[in-house]
Amino acid sequence: MNFKTDKSVLVLNSFINYFYGMTKSDLRKKYKALRKGLSSELIDNYSIDIVNNLLNLDIWNYEFYHVYLPIEKHNEVNTEYILNILSGKDKNIVISKSNFDTQAMTHYLLTDNTRIRKNEYDIPEPIDGIAIASNKLDVVFVPLLAYDQLGNRVGYGKGFYDRFLSECKEGVIKIGLSFFEAEEMITDIGAKDVRLDYCVTANGAISF
């Protein structure tokens, strides 16, 4: 599996997006505004629908699952329901801590003894714990602001997840979670951007 967007797709993107696409910057503004318009009730209802659609995917027979902890002020998809499912299936759950100086992520096994604390950006993170290497992960649930019909995603712009996913083993399953449907195409996809395998919304699951 090729994790990175290949050159032919980049060329196609640059041609088509002149007419149809939006830049990452434009999409960040658009979807931050759309997220702000969601009530707490809608976020919770959509998050439950997303998890119900996740249950229809053939992804539950693996060992190590990486789950992001949502930033509440950004109205992200609530992953607590995914954590509950994984705990019920006795799976290994892995969460991350971000270093904003090196832009690297360190991954830790989530246990009953894990202590969680919000960092200066209000991101819930483990304080410490049992470290897990990126190449041990089987499934990664990926946060995003927007995505397109090819599986390209837009995050917050720091590149944490693109770097992290490029370190994972070949064949790791990358699943985006979104309240919204796919854009036609993102104009400024780079060679280091990592595409999703699936994106799951309240309306269903899209395979790329």
Tens-place pLDDT, residues 161-183 = 999 999 999 999 999 999 999 99
Percent of the chain with pLDDT over 90: 82
Q: Which residues pair with 199 in a beta bridge?
A: 176, 206
| Residue 102: per-residue pLDDT | 87
Q: Where in the chain are the domains?
A: 7-207
Tens-place pLDDT, residues 45-65 = 999 999 999 999 999 999 999
Tens-place pLDDT, residues 78-111 = 999 999 999 999 999 999 999 988 888 999 999 9
What region, left, alpha or beta, does residue 34 occupy, with left being phi > 0 and alpha being psi -120 to 50 degrees? alpha
Torsion angle defined by CA atoms of residues 142, 143, 144 and 149, in that order, rounded to the nearest 10 degrees: 30
Task: Decide if 164 contacts 96 (C-beta within 8 A).
Answer: yes
How wide is the angle at C-alpha 161 spanned by C-alphas 158 and 162, nearest 5°? Answer: 90
Query: CATH for 7-207?
Result: 3.40.50.10420
- How many residues in the chain? 208
The pTM for the full model equals 0.88
